[in-house]
Amino acid sequence: LLHHLTLGVDRPYNGQKHQNDLTGDRTGLAAMTGIKAIVSQYFACEECRRHFVEDYDKCLYGRCVDGDSPTREETVMWLWRFHNAVNGRVFAHRSPGGDVRKAQWPPASTCPPCVSSATGEYSGKIVYHWIVRTYLGDMLKGETPFTMATSP
């Protein structure tokens, strides 16, 4: 659900560019605010809710950007970085001294081009397109002509 909120940023609604009207606000800021509301009100883990709200309010992981509102890519990548930070924190707590990279998403086994085999670092551009393709699939209709074999 949360990834779909980020992917809805600036997407056409019924074939037309969306504006703030009765169909809802499709800005990056609206998606981020909605995610904060969902996490802070519905996550069962109180510590998780507290960590999320603290990190959100500190503008961590690229949440606060210059301009009116984050783009779709900035919004998607904010949630991805946030998600991986949480995965890393939980992994480090459960496996002290373990390799935190094992907790990162997507794993290299799922998206080989996302992770450099030489450095273990993620390519943000490839990860973004992988997330778009994974969650939107056939709904793209040529919107993202990126192929996973292509480097940015």
- Examine residue 63 and state whether it is found in any structural domain, yes or no: yes
- Examine residue 139 and state whether it is found in any structural domain, yes or no: no
- Examine residue 149 and state whether it is found in any structural domain, yes or no: no
pLDDT band at 140 (very low <50, low <70, confident <90, very high): low
- Examine residue 96 and state whether it is found in any structural domain, yes or no: yes
Number of structural domains in the chain = 1
What type of residue sits at position 100?
V
- Examine residue 145 and state whether it is found in any structural domain, yes or no: no
Which pLDDT tens digit goes with each residue over 12-68?
544 445 444 434 567 888 889 989 999 999 999 999 999 999 999 999 999 998 877
Which pLDDT tens digit goes with each residue over 89-127?
999 999 988 888 888 999 999 999 999 989 989 999 999
pLDDT at 142: 54
Once rounded to an integer, what is the mean pLDDT over residues 60-79? 89
- Examine residue 152 and state whether it is found in any structural domain, yes or no: no
Token look-up 């397109």 returns 129
- Examine residue 81 and state whether it is found in any structural domain, yes or no: yes
Q: Tell me, what CATH number does 11's domain have?
A: 1.20.120
- Examine residue 126 and state whether it is found in any structural domain, yes or no: no
Domain that holds residue 60: 2-105
Do residues 19 and 38 touch, judged by C-beta distance below 8 A?
A: no
Is the pLDDT score of 81 beyond 90?
yes
**Phi-psi sector, 26: left (phi>0), alpha (psi -120 to 50), beta:** alpha
Is the pLDDT score of 147 beyond 90?
no
